[in-house]
Structure 1
Amino acid sequence: MIENILWISVALMLICSIMPKKYNIRKLAGSAGWIFFSIHWFYQPLHYMEIQDYFNVALVITVGIICLIIAYTMIKEYRFPDMTGIGNSMDVTSMATSATALGSLFYFPFAQMDFLNTWLIGTVTENTLWVLHALSYPAEMTAWNKIGMNGYKVEIILACTAIESIALFIGLIASVSAPFKKVAAAFLASVPVIYILNIGRDVFVIIAYAEQWFGPNSFEIAHHTIAKIGSGIALFIIAYIVMKILPELIDLIEGVWLLISEYIHKVLDKVAGNN
């Protein structure tokens, strides 16, 4: 069921992206796409609560709320076409929709198609094992997606491949109208770097867990805390570099932030008024 919702959301966003701008009904298609997309994100906390990953619980709920804010804004833009792009030379919601559609088209096949899922996870597992051996650690592959060392085993899953972050940057970069050289430079500064850094992250988690660097809770501390903080810092730096190469992305991010902050201020004002 949730897989169907994902593909419906992507299809509606693509319709919005490819439909000529003179047809304002594309805003309704985009809005519907974001609503379906929010359903997907609001479904995710169930999984993360099961594995006690509360950081991602908060993250996916936040993403779901952002989806609804963009959907609401696109409905207003459909009703009042003149408000599109006010205060900015570009259509922020349409650009965000295109970026999301393109990123999703790259990500969802890996998430939903078994042969691609298995290939990607297997490749990351092999690359991680190779690095461990290069560092002279006695790790071994105990299954196609599991690495064992010192009696401890770590399973590599899709979330360990950084495919979400890679898809995000691909969508953002591909949605920008810029010279090919700039787009290529932004791609090289993000996608390969993210993949390599993610292999380093997986290596760190396995070593920290197998060597029990942080005691009985070594995996939780290494994976849920240190690795996530490190990944966040790395993605921030990569995003900064990409935006220096493609300053058009700054306008998109600023525009989305203004939409979110404006909505938050309205909600807070209503709450304050009710009190």
Structure 2
Amino acid sequence: MSPPPSTSVGLETVVVVASASNGAVSSALRSAQPIDALAWIAIVAFGLALLVRWSDVAAPARPIAGVAWLLFGTYWLTMVPYYYYDAQSPLQTVLALVALPLCAYTGYLLWNGRESLFVLTKAVALMGLIYLPAETIPIVRQWLIETTAVQTHYGMELLGHSPGINEGMNGYESRFNFDSEETATGRTTYIVLACTGLGSMAIFGGLIAAVSAPLRRKLTAFALAIGVIWLLNLVRNVFIGLATPHGWFQQDLVVSLVTTYMGAEEARVSYLVAHNYISQLLAVVALIGVTYLVVKILPEVLEPLEEVLFVLTGTEYDLETALGADVRTDGGSRDT
């Protein structure tokens, strides 16, 4: 028996995932088009700046890129209310808030001549080209969501749980059909695009595609990153998908803290703890680990990462030396 609509909870994130109640999902769907349009405008502006620079017209390229970064930061600012009120995710709220000043500063540095930031600009543009089509093309989005739901359900079956899958609030066969009368919280979860891991895959895909390196090493790094992210993402989905209905974190102290300081419904506590705290924090650790593995194969990605650190700290870094990379970022070995 399916639980009433008010007991359904989605799995969603940015970078990785963010939760939404049914009302939040409806609101997000109503506002998706203008938000998507702003993201597309930013990506197109990035592409225009890169095209102008490729045409050896450096001066106009910098201000165009600067405006693109400002638009990109504004896009993330528009997501703050959703992350704070609906998703109730402190981490994503903070990241969305700081995105605008950081993007604006990046644009300012570019506008004033820091040409090395064009590699990072190219990486972000490519990330958008990987992610946005999947978000805006229904048939691609449906395939990704339903495939992830099937794979997550298989993971649950390996642990002895077989709830079945039915239609979620997004209209796709993506909801885990736990019986609300037989679970601790009466709630369940359903897969959305963010649960596919596509956001994290797009980050590494953009970084890897943006740098200059031999194709074989780029393909090897890409395959490794995608494989690890896919596996860890399924583990995360299974963890959240089981913790939510079975109330793994419904202990009195945890419930008191989350309901008092996050204003959450008591029945949602296990979901919020599993999703917004444990999974999101572990996702940060996982991304650092994947980055290290990619760097060992493709140290060229250190160049855009050094630019990120410069924007954050104002200090120049030599990550190649600090990490002891075996291959120089120009493609040669340390012995040549």
Q: Give yes or no for TM over 0.5.
A: yes
Q: Which amino acid aligns with 2:165?
A: M
Q: Distance in 2 between matches of 1:21 and 1:98?
A: 15
Q: 1:11 aligns with which of 20, 38, 44?
A: 44
**Which residue pairs with 2:105 in the alignment?**
69
Q: Distance in 2 between matches of 1:211 and 1:69?
A: 45
Structure 1 position 175 matched with structure 2 position 227 = no
Structure 1 position 148 matched with structure 2 position 182 = no
**Which residue pairs with 2:80 in the alignment?**
45
Question: Which structure has more RCO (C-alpha within 8 Å, separation ≥ 6)?
Answer: 2
- Any unmatched runs of 5+ in structure 2? 1-33, 168-172, 181-186, 251-266, 316-336
Q: 1:232 aligns with which of 284, 287, 311?
A: 284
Structure 1 position 54 matched with structure 2 position 54 = no
Q: Distance in 2 between matches of 1:112 and 1:224?
A: 25
Q: Is the 8 A contact 1:107 1:167 kept in 2?
A: yes
| Secondary structure in structure 2 of the residue aligned to 1:149 | coil
Q: 1:212 aligns with which of 243, 247, 272?
A: 247
Q: Which amino acid aligns with 1:192?
A: G
* Farther-moved stretch of structure 1 (94-103 vs 17-26): 17-26
Q: Distance in 2 between matches of 1:225 and 1:255?
A: 28
Structure 1 position 201 matched with structure 2 position 236 = yes
Cα distance, 1:159 vs. partner?
A: 1.9
Superposed CA deviations along residues 59-107 of structure 1, whole A, max 9, x for unmatched, are 1222222211111111112xxxxxx4xxxxxx42100110000110010
- With normalisation by structure 2, the TM-score equals 0.71
Q: 1:27 aligns with which of 49, 55, 62?
A: 62
**Which residue pairs with 2:13 in the alignment?**
none
| Secondary structure in structure 2 of the residue aligned to 1:139 | coil
Alignment of 1:224-263 (within 5 A): 224-262=276-314
**Which residue pairs with 1:268 in the alignment?**
none
Q: Is the 8 A contact 1:150 1:211 kept in 2?
A: no
Q: Distance in 2 between matches of 1:195 and 1:61?
A: 28
Cα distance, 1:192 vs. partner?
A: 2.0
Q: Distance in 1 between matches of 2:270 and 2:96?
A: 25
Q: Which amino acid aligns with 2:158?
A: A
Q: Which amino acid aligns with 1:189?
A: L
- With normalisation by structure 1, the TM-score equals 0.86
**Which residue pairs with 2:153 in the alignment?**
129
Cα distance, 1:127 vs. partner?
A: 1.0
**Which residue pairs with 1:88 in the alignment?**
none
| Secondary structure in structure 1 of the residue aligned to 2:88 | coil
CA spacing shift, 1:119–1:230, aligned 2, 3 Å? same
Q: Is the 8 A contact 1:92 1:255 kept in 2?
A: yes
**Which residue pairs with 1:186 in the alignment?**
221
Cα distance, 1:21 vs. partner?
A: 6.2
Structure number having the greater helix percentage: 1
Cα distance, 1:210 vs. partner?
A: 2.5
Cα distance, 1:3 vs. partner?
A: 2.3
Q: Is the 8 A contact 1:103 1:168 kept in 2?
A: yes
**Which residue pairs with 1:104 in the alignment?**
128
Q: Distance in 1 between matches of 2:247 and 2:179?
A: 10
Q: How many residues align?
A: 251
Q: 1:166 aligns with which of 198, 201, 215?
A: 201
- Any unmatched runs of 5+ in structure 1? 78-83, 85-90, 264-275
Q: Which amino acid aligns with 1:38?
A: G
Q: 2:71 aligns with which of 33, 36, 44?
A: 36
Q: Distance in 1 between matches of 2:278 and 2:209?
A: 31
Superposed CA deviations along residues 198-251 of structure 1, whole A, max 9, x for unmatched, are 011000111222322211521111111111122111111001111121112222
| Secondary structure in structure 1 of the residue aligned to 2:75 | helix
Aligned-residue Cα RMSD (Å) equals 1.7
Q: Distance in 2 between matches of 1:249 and 1:4?
A: 29
**Which residue pairs with 1:267 in the alignment?**
none
Q: Distance in 2 between matches of 1:243 and 1:92?
A: 19
